[in-house]
Amino acid sequence: MKLEAVRKAGTDPYQTSFKRDGSVQEILAAFADGKQARATGRLTAIRTHGKRTFADLRDQTGKIQLVFAQDDLGDRYGRLEELDLGDIVGAAGVCMTTKTGEKSIAVSEWSLLAKSLRPLPEKWHGLQNVEIRYRQRYLDLLSNPETRKTFEARTRIVSGIRRFLDERGFLEVETPMMQPIAGGAAGRPFKTHHNALDMDLYLRIAPELYLKRLLVGGFEKVYEINRNFRNEGLSPRHNPEFTMLEVYEAYSDCAGMMELTEELVTGLAQELHGGLKLEFGGKTLDLARPWKQVSFAKLVQDKFGIAPGDSMEVMAKKLKKDVGAIPKNQLARIVIESLDEMFEHAEGAPVFVTEFFKIFSPLAKSLPGQPEIADRFELFIGGMETANAYSEQNDPLEQRERLQASQALGGEQAQPVDEDFLEALEYGMPPAGGLGIGIDRLTMLLTGQLSIRDVILFPTLRSDLGQA
């Protein structure tokens, strides 16, 4: 093996460092014939012509050509045979422009920094196997420039969100990821056990109840970019571990969150694409404001004859479900999933679905004069739910009743009665608007990816190789 040859020659094939002048992009930006340069990166092509060897050196920012000449390197020129595609090297020399106009470094010194023991994916076609791309993301990043661009865009999206909120006076905070009560959303949690305290804890399904405690404590504008965990299935739009943005603003409401959402998403689109039109799923999505609004209550009344005060059993019958065959604690889940299907293949342009039933929204205030209708919206773009917001319930007595009512639904829709949270509300929480945006789904939209696994660096996968 070449590795053994390197070691027999007295060279460490895994060196600790190599001083470089900057990234390849920075070296190219400051390029001048005759200037000294020191660069590092991975060898992605090697070509020998007579007494010269040409190699492509690539780092995260770009590619530069290395020129190794026997006349310059002497006996060390023969050591080039120890190099393979994929090796990470450092090279120093003089900047030169070849006869073909390619900016290069005429190498006078080079070092092997890390020996690659496995061949890289085939050069021209990249890594095509979807399963391997997800399981071995490092190979995907090495061989597919589009994958790198997607995750670079994701970083820009998260940075843009922070900048947008920070400029508006919001305070970024952190709340517990392990919680004694899994509240703030409907979902099945992951459970763990804390040995020292001898108590069960849950990985959070949402940070909502903790962020509202901060409103009680006097912070008026807070946000968290948080990891949530829900012990549920996998799909092109669902991963058990996912990233959410949650925003809470005292003295705002659902309408305020609607305006904030429009400003944030259109601002990100402008920053990434220079305009408000996106390509997604073979369609062009126009994000131009104002975005359309439709009433959930009116839609289900018109389509199914469902009224806000109907029980889950009545709703299920109107949806033509076999109520007798559905366990009672699963009725709410079946009903909600059936109603959600109305919007999953809706028009591509953004649409705010408003006026949800109170029974589906235990943490939201009701609309004035309409006690069965929540002041809430869900945002759909490209037929995909992207955001959820409402005017936050701040009446502690009403909130207790609503959480107890959700318990009656059973199953995953039952929200626990968090006594500590209710006690916090009793000290007084200002009226507020709250907003949640799925970072993964937003990234899908802004990068044109149709699977959530293409925007999560290391998505959750089944253990058996070959099963997506």
Are the C-beta atoms of 228 and 205 separated by less than 8 Å? yes
339 lies in the same domain as 441: yes
> Residue 53: inside a domain, yes or no?
yes
CA distance 373 to 132: 47
> Residue 119: inside a domain, yes or no?
no
> Residue 129: inside a domain, yes or no?
no
343 lies in the same domain as 401: yes
Q: Which amino acid would we find at residue 223?
A: Y
How confident is residue 464, by pLDDT bands cut at 50, 70 and 90? low
266 lies in the same domain as 377: yes
Lowest mean pLDDT among 14-28, 144-158, 326-340: 326-340
Residue 334's CB is within 10 A of a number of other CB atoms, namely 19
How confident is residue 8, by pLDDT bands cut at 50, 70 and 90? confident
Lowest mean pLDDT among 53-57, 68-72, 317-321: 317-321
CA distance 405 to 29: 64
Are the C-beta atoms of 107 and 73 separated by less than 8 Å? yes
pLDDT confidence of residue 130: 84
CA distance 121 to 72: 32
Provide the CATH number for the domain around residue 64. 2.40.50.140
CA distance 345 to 340: 10
pLDDT confidence of residue 346: 66
pLDDT in tens, 428-453: 999 999 999 999 999 999 999 999 99
> Residue 131: inside a domain, yes or no?
no
Average pLDDT score over residue span 108-131: 82
pLDDT confidence of residue 153: 98
Average pLDDT score over residue span 77-102: 95
Q: Which amino acid would we find at residue 48?
A: T
pLDDT in tens, 343-385: 776 668 999 999 999 999 999 999 999 999 999 999 999 989 9
CA distance 67 to 263: 50
Are the C-beta atoms of 257 and 432 separated by less than 8 Å? no
92 lies in the same domain as 143: no
CA distance 429 to 431: 7
Q: Which amino acid would we find at residue 396?
A: P
Helix, coil or strand: residue 42: strand
CA distance 254 to 271: 26
Model pTM? Answer: 0.92
**Structural domains in the chain (count):** 2
Lowest mean pLDDT among 2-16, 218-232, 349-363: 2-16
42 lies in the same domain as 183: no
* The token pair that represents 292 in the structure block: 């359309």
Average pLDDT score over residue span 325-351: 82
Q: In terms of pLDDT, which residue wins out, 400 or 466?
A: 400
201 lies in the same domain as 303: yes
Residue 259's CB is within 10 A of a number of other CB atoms, namely 13
Q: Is the pLDDT of residue 164 over 60?
A: yes
> Residue 109: inside a domain, yes or no?
yes
Are the C-beta atoms of 154 and 443 separated by less than 8 Å? yes
Burial class (CB in 10 A: 0-12, 13-18, 19+), 406: buried
**Sign of torsion over alpha carbons 75, 77, 81, 82:** positive
Select from 436, 464, 434, 467 the least CA-distant residue to 453: 467
Select from 74, 465, 434 the least CA-distant residue to 261: 434
Residues 6 or more apart in contact with residue 367 via CB below 8 angstroms: 355, 373, 374, 375
The residue out of 99, 114, 129 marking a domain boundary is: 114
> Residue 251: inside a domain, yes or no?
yes
* The token pair that represents 173 in the structure block: 């905070």
pLDDT confidence of residue 254: 98
pLDDT confidence of residue 294: 94
213 lies in the same domain as 344: yes
Q: In terms of pLDDT, which residue wins out, 127 or 316?
A: 316
pLDDT confidence of residue 413: 79
Average pLDDT score over residue span 125-144: 84
* The token pair that represents 188 in the structure block: 């099945």
Give backbone dihedrals phi and psi of 181, rounded to 5 degrees, phi first. -130, 130
250 lies in the same domain as 340: yes
In sequence order, what are the beta bridge partners of 2?
Answer: none
Average pLDDT score over residue span 241-255: 98
Are the C-beta atoms of 226 and 244 separated by less than 8 Å? yes
201 lies in the same domain as 341: yes
CA distance 200 to 28: 56
Range(s) of the domain holding residue 238? 139-454
166 lies in the same domain as 315: yes
pLDDT confidence of residue 466: 47
Are the C-beta atoms of 89 and 40 separated by less than 8 Å? yes
Alpha-carbon Rg for the chain, nearest whole angstrom, is: 28
246 lies in the same domain as 345: yes
Provide the CATH number for the domain around residue 268. 3.30.930.10
> Residue 463: inside a domain, yes or no?
no
CA distance 71 to 84: 22
pLDDT confidence of residue 143: 86
